Chains A and B, each alone.
Chain A
Amino acid sequence: MTNAIKLNQPVRNNWTDWRMMKDNRRRKLLVQYAPERVRAKALKKNDVLPPEITEIGAKMLADIPRDASLTRVRNRCAITSRPRGIVTRWRLSRIVWRSLADYNKLSGVQRAMW
């Protein structure tokens, strides 16, 4: 199952929507700048080193692009790009998850009954 809506038309990308594409871009940047970010944050957020070094750390952290921040990443549905109601383990929105579960496509998922 792919999230490509337009399969037979000329498209710029095969993401469900632009928000999904941007989220993907942010995730890539996050991975790219992760070590830099950790080091800068360590330099900034400590009271051991002299404040001059701490300021330098703060500056380094500010220089990193904003999209490399973890807080900007949003767990979207992999198929519909829905930002809310995500079942984390499957990375799907609850609606898609439910439809797949009803068609027996999710391993070990069963209708609850007790």
Chain B
Amino acid sequence: MATSIRNTKMLLRRAFSVKRNETLARNLCFTRTLNANEDQDDSKKVVAEKKNKAELREAKQKEAKAKLNMLLESMSKTTSKAFPSESTLSLATPKIRAKPAKPVKRTAVNTKIEPEMLQAVEDVSNMLSKEKEASKNSLIAKLEAVADESERARLEPFKPNKQKTEDLNSLLNTLKVDGKKPKNKPPAPKLAPVKVEDIYGAQPSGIFSKAHFKEESSAVSGLATWDMLYERELELAVTHPPANGFQQMIRWTKQGKVWQFPIDNEQGLDEEAQVGFHEHVFLEPHLKPWCPRRGPVRHFMELVVVGLSKNPYLTVAQKKEHINWFRDFFEAKRSILIDTGAIPDITTKSSPSIST
């Protein structure tokens, strides 16, 4: 790590030095060219002077080139500076511990055959034959061959081998089935297949006329909450409750549950609107068939009717039902009413005569 850092530092320094050399070389070149240009721009001098100058220039150029070469060579020299391979610093080194001896690996690790199979092969060869190694190897070779074939077959698409199928078929045909089944029952009598044209043409056979079919015993689960929750789950699966307020409002608008503007207090009460006020107010015809014309009962019922006629909250049906209830009540308490004298007794009532 330290050496690497140092190496990089050295590299950087080298780079800078190279750069400096390069800049130096560049400056030299530029100055040369600039000077040359200046000389050309000046007024024409004597040819001899020019010649001398040219010679001088050439010499200088050569010098510069030589210098450049030198610098380049020095660069290469600096790059080939030898550094010690090992660091001169005395750093902490780990203790060299004797590694534990590794167990000798098996040379033949069979990936095709499972280790259990290998073990079995080993046991068999040890038990059976004298030439253990040879038998083991032959068995392994056979297993490997089988594994290879199965792999190939697995990878390739199945093509039925005609020869093999023929062999199999012949084999199966030659196989004899052992008749080991106990023949307790004689074979059922075979009926000839019946051709039926009209299914409902014949008379009913009456086989099931005396049959007593048990009712399907639906076992009471006893888990009422679970059943209820299950049904709820089913409903939720089928229906789609609204996911947000917008969907809810859309749904309600479609169902007509939302108030329409301008607000009408009787929105939704269309059937009631069709019923005329006369049915609400004039309820005396409902008393006519049963109520006596005079007496406390009539008095009471008149009060009831007046109250109902002023009631805007009940429907006509409800009002009728109210009156009918009283009719039934008074019918039930008829004896009491007669005893008290509320209702005139019809049976004892004699025909009106002039004498009385």
Q: Do A and B bind each other?
A: yes
A residues apposed to B, CB below 8 Å: 35, 39, 42-43, 46, 48-50, 52-53, 56
B326 engages A56 (CB within 8 Å)? no
Say whether B340 contacts A46, CB under 8 Å.
no
Whether the pair A49, B296 counts as a contact (CB closer than 8 A) is: yes
Contact partner of A53 (CB less than 8 A), chosen from B304, B318, B322, B336, is B336
B residues 302-356 in Cβ contact with A at 8 Å: 303-304, 318, 321-322, 325-326, 329, 333, 336-337, 339-342
Give the one of B296, B339, B341 with max A CB within 10 A. B296
12 further interface pairs, Cβ-Cβ under 8 Å (given A35-B318, A35-B325, A52-B336): A39-B326, A46-B300, A48-B296, A48-B299, A49-B300, A49-B342, A50-B337, A52-B339, A53-B336, A53-B337, A53-B340, A56-B336
Report if B29 contacts A (CB, 8 A): no
Interchain CB contact under 8 A, B297 and A49:
yes
Q: Using CB atoms and an 8 Å cutoff, list the residues of chain B in contact with chain A.
A: 296-297, 299-300, 303-304, 318, 321-322, 325-326, 329, 333, 336-337, 339-342
For B314, give the chain A residue with the smallest CB separation.
Answer: A35
Chain B residues with CB below 8 A from A53, complex form = 333, 336-337, 340, 342
How far in angstroms is the closest Cβ of chain B from A110? 21
Beyond A35-B322, A39-B322, A56-B333, is A48–B340 a contact (Cβ under 8 Å)? Answer: no
Give chain B residues whose Cβ lies under 8 Å from the Cβ of A49: 296-297, 300, 342
* Interface pair B340/A52, CB less than 8 Å apart: yes
**For the complex, would chain B's binding face be called helix, strand, loop or mixed by DSSP majority?**
helix
| Contact residues of A: prevailing secondary structure | helix
Residues in A with CB closer than 8 Å to B296 are 48-50
Q: Name the A residues within 8 Å of B326 (CB-CB).
A: 39
Chain B residues lying within 8 Å of A46, measured Cβ to Cβ, are: 300, 303
Minimum C-beta distance from A87 to chain B (A)? 21
Give the complex CA separation of A43 and B303 in angstroms. Answer: 12
Nearest chain-A residue to B318 (Cβ)?
Answer: A35
Looking at the assembled complex, report how far the CB atom of B313 sits from the nearest CB atom of chain A, in whole angstroms. Answer: 11
Residues of A within 8 Å of B318, CB to CB, are 35
CA distance A52 to B325 in the complex (A): 18
Chain B, Cβ-Cβ closest to A60: B329
Residues of chain B with a CB closer than 8 A to A42's CB = 304
Instruction: For B341, list chain A residues within 8 Å (CB).
Output: 50
CB distance from B68 to the nearest CB of A (A): 85
A49 to B296, CA, bound (A): 6
A56: which B residues are within 8 A, CB to CB?
Answer: 333, 336
Structural contact, B325 and A39, CB atoms closer than 8 A: yes
Which A residues touch B340, using CB under 8 A? 50, 52-53
- Give the shortest distance, in Å, between B315 (CB) and chain A (any CB): 12
Residues of A within 8 A of B339 (CB): 52
How far in angstroms is the closest Cβ of chain A from B248?
Answer: 14
* Cα separation A42 to B302 with both chains bound (whole Å): 13
- A57 closest partner in B (C-beta): B329
